[in-house]
Every structure is written in C-alpha cells, then in structure tokens.
Amino acid sequence: MTEHWQDHYQRWTTFANLDPELRAQLDSLRDDPHTLEDCFARPIAFGTGGMRGELGPGINRINLYTVRKASAGLARYVTAHGKAAMDAGVAIAYDSRHKSRTFAVEAASVLGWHGIRVHLFDRLCPTPLLSFAVRHVGAFAGIVITASHNPPEYNGFKVYGADGGQITPATAEALLTHMEEAGDELRIAAADEQALRASGLLRTISGELLQAYLERLESCRIPPAVQSAGDPVRIVFTPLHGTTYEAITKGLDAFGYRHVTVVREQADPDPSFSTVSSPNPEEHQAFRLAIQYAKKDGADLILATDPDGDRLGVAVKHPQGDYVVLTGNQTGALLLHYLLSQKRRSGALPANGVVLKTIVTSEMGRAIASDFGLATVDTLTGFKYIGEKMGEFEKTGAYAFQFGYEESCGFLIADFVRDKDAVQAALFMADACAFHKAEGRSLYDALLQLFATYGYYMEDLHAITCRGRDGMAAMASILSRLRSRPLTEIAGKKVTVVEDYLAGERRDVALGTTALLTFPKTDALKYVLDDASWFCVRPSGTEPKIKLYVGVKGTSLEEAEKKLAALKQAVGHLLKTP
C-alpha cells in the first residue's frame, strides 16, 4: 500500500469509537493487504446513481461512516438552498438488504442534526414508492438505501431530486463537493433518533402512502376486457426476497385479480437472497421456482421483481405448455402496444404523445410508436435521463409522456412516478394479459403478432468483466482502440452510422457528414449497419464491466437469431482483438 492509503487505514484503526463490527472486520483483514488496499485506496465513487459498493470497512466500502458522509454532503446541499428546502425535507426509504434499515436511520440522524426535516418509511419500500413519496409529501429530496439487483454483499445510497427523479450529473457534482467539504467520515455528527422524533423533525411515512399510490395508479388505468368468470387470468408472482410483496399483492387485488399465487419460498425479505444465484429478474435462473408454481397452477403470467422493486421480469406460457422468459425489450413492446391500442380505442391518445427509450433499447418500440402516430425520443442509458426528459417536456409542453422503458426490464407508465416502476408495470402487464386472453390469445401469441406486424426484432447483451486495479484502464483502452481504428464493415455488413457519445458526434459514413449529438457526454460508441442491425459498446456505470449491446431485425425468428449470433460473435472478436 502507498503511504496515502496507509494514512486512511491508520485513521480507522486508531479511531477510539469505531463501530465494533467494522473493527472486527478490519482485524480480520490484517493478513490480506490486497483487500485492505482496495478498501482504503480511494473514496467510494459518487455519481448520478449515488454510491453503490460492497459492505465492509474503509472509505471504498458501504458502511456506517461512508453513509454518514454522503448524508452530510446532502445535508449541506439542502441547507444551501435555504429554510424552505430544509422544512420540505428529505424522504428516506430502504430495501431488504443487509443494514438497509440501519443506514436509513443513520442518514435521517445526520440530516436531522442539521435541522432538516426527514420523512422516514416505517417498512421496506420499493424504490418507485420513494419517487412517489418525494412528490406526494413535497420533499426537497429523497434517499433510497439499496443496491438494486446487485449481489447480497452490496448496498448503496441513491439520491432523488424534488421532482422524484434520480439526480442529474450537475446535482451529483454539487453533492460530491459538499461531501468532500464535510470532512473526516469518522467524525460526522448525528442526532439521536428518538430526540428527532420528539422534536418533530423525524416523521414517519406509513402504509397510507401505498394506498395513495395505488389510488393514483388506478385512476390512470385503461379499463381492461372483462375477465371470464370461468377462465380468469392466473398469475404467479415472486418478489425475489425483496420489497414488493405488499405493493403488488394489494395492487393486483385492487385491480380485480383474485387468482394470484405467490412463490412462498421467495415471499419474505431475505438479504442473502438464498433461493437464487442472483436476484435479477433479467436472468432466467431467477424464475426457476416461479415456473414450477406456474406449471402446477396452469398460470397465464409470471411476474418477478428485483429487490428494490424498480425492475420487472415476465415469463409467459408457450403453446406447448412450457414458460418463456421475455427480454425487457419484449415486455416493453407488449406493454407499449397494449397501452397505445387501448388509449386509441378510448380516444385518450394525444396527438403529441411521446415514447422515451434509451439508445440501447430495441428499435421495435420506435416502430410501434410510429404506427400510432407518436414520436420516439432516445436518451442515454439510465432511467435518470428518461426522468429528466419527462420533466423537460412537462415544462415545455412539447410532448405528452406516454411510456418510458429500457432494455434492462425498467418500465414507466404513469408519470406521477419519475423512475422505473415494477409495481406499475406488473399491474398493467396483468391487464394486458387479461385483454389478450379475452380475445383468445396468450401473451406469447400477442408477441408473435407484434413480430409479424413490425418485424422480428431481437437483441442481446454481453458483458466483459474487467476486474482488479487495472480494470478501469482496460475498459478505457477498449473504447480508445475503437475510436482510433474507424470501423467500416463487420459481420459482412457495412457501417452506415457511428455515434460517439463522448465526442458528441454522429457520423454518417455513407454521406461523409458529421452532426452534433444533443446528449450529455458519456463514454459510449454505437454503430448502425446497412441492414438496420446495430451494436453499442459502453462501460457499466455500476460494475467493472464493458457492456456490449447488439440488435438486429429479421424477416423471421430464425433469420433474426442467425443474424444476432453472427453479429454478436463478430463484435466480441473485435473487442478482444488487440
């Protein structure tokens, strides 16, 4: 370790009041200098998603002290905006992970010490309900203690603005400056929880908020086809040990779905996520138990949410009796087409409607939106950019938001929430299933109809892990090499467009012209080919990985699968070639 890292380590080991659990963990690492170096080499990164990392001691881990320092930074930011911001306060929620409740109380105690009002949930809460709560109680900001679908050894600190959306890059930079000014993380002041409650600075958000949320959601509902009493929609639901059990079971009941089976082994919160290798509904293994239940019950639909309830995974019944796990793009296409078709049927589809999606989300959404006369606007990867666009269009009136989604199973239907919302998506997916079943179709049949109408779109995601101290350098090297060697052809197809989001340029290869991109600058490259295929390469914002997104359009499922495999193989080889 360098002397600078050793200084941080020395500070922690000599701090008299160090949390006993963290001290024991430090003692256990004495003979592991490499891990100690990683724990103290640098402060944990803080960006637009807040901070996320492994639990443990040190300035590069999530723990009591790094949470206090982040909270102190937010407190200084709120205080800088004056008494009105302090009185509006901060709403705080937490998920089912290790120490989430503890960290939420610590954040509240630090904010309260600064005289800032805090609205703290009294139970586990899905992230979208925090977004709703910020707007509902008129808070100046919000915090969720969560690491989303990361492994159980992770946790995080996610910050929201007054609009209920994730903070923007400019706000993240300001918060980071305030965090640095807060000083030594071991000496951040915090008030007593009970004293804050007695003073009125710490208030409780109870179950009434969920009821208000569900009432707002039901008011946005398009009445679905009436279910047949003899053949009702049968649903299997799993919260994957996370936060959505109460919200989704109550929501489905309020929406009239009575034949709902919950996967009992995954119903209770479990910070170790003991029945899955990963609590990520994008992955097929997360559906193993749910599919067993569905086969037994003859279910029409399987719904699975990630631990903090912002991502929804869906599996549907195949005509041969098995269950097919849909991609986020396929679920998004089914939801989008259902919503737009029902709005048009009821006369509720606005002329200036807009669909928001990310640059790595399927082009099928654009084709569907266009068919209904709607515009599609792309954003950078990350739902914070979709939320930001929603706010922009709300102010200007240029577009009326209809649907937002990203390929990683994130969907938003009703704009009283400003982040991806698995509760909304689950309830409206049930409605879509009921509609199609009443028409004599399964959701799988409906997906095949969309393919036949709009084209056989198929996408995939591949990640290249770049671990260790050299991981960041390796990721930067891959992107730098791609920029230094302009690509003109791949997998037998010509490159027609190159979008460099770091340079902020869109280059039309065929015309030889260059135009400016209007996105915030980020390290990503996207290539469009002459057969409408595309691929995008970017570093992950939350993990030490390079992410490769690939998309194709075919005239049949078989052709699309072949095109996808060929392009994925060619690009994978390109990234590994020095």
Q: Which residues are catalytic?
A: 148
**Distance from C-alpha of 421 to C-alpha of 415, rounded to nearest angstrom:** 10
Ranges of H-type helices in 182-258 = 193-199, 208-219, 245-254
**Distance from C-alpha of 323 to C-alpha of 292, rounded to nearest angstrom:** 10
CA 384 and chain centroid, separation: 9
Which residue(s) pair with 505 in the sheet? 500, 516
120 contacts 104 by C-beta, under 8 angstroms: yes
**Distance from C-alpha of 355 to C-alpha of 400, rounded to nearest angstrom:** 9
**Distance from C-alpha of 37 to C-alpha of 517, rounded to nearest angstrom:** 40
Q: How far is CA 574 from CA 1, 160, 386, 482, in A?
A: 36, 38, 31, 9
**Distance from C-alpha of 213 to C-alpha of 25, rounded to nearest angstrom:** 41
CA-atom Rg of the chain in angstroms? 24
**Distance from C-alpha of 218 to C-alpha of 231, rounded to nearest angstrom:** 23
485 contacts 459 by C-beta, under 8 angstroms: no
**Distance from C-alpha of 206 to C-alpha of 211, rounded to nearest angstrom:** 10
DSSP 3-state of 409: coil
**Distance from C-alpha of 357 to C-alpha of 377, rounded to nearest angstrom:** 7
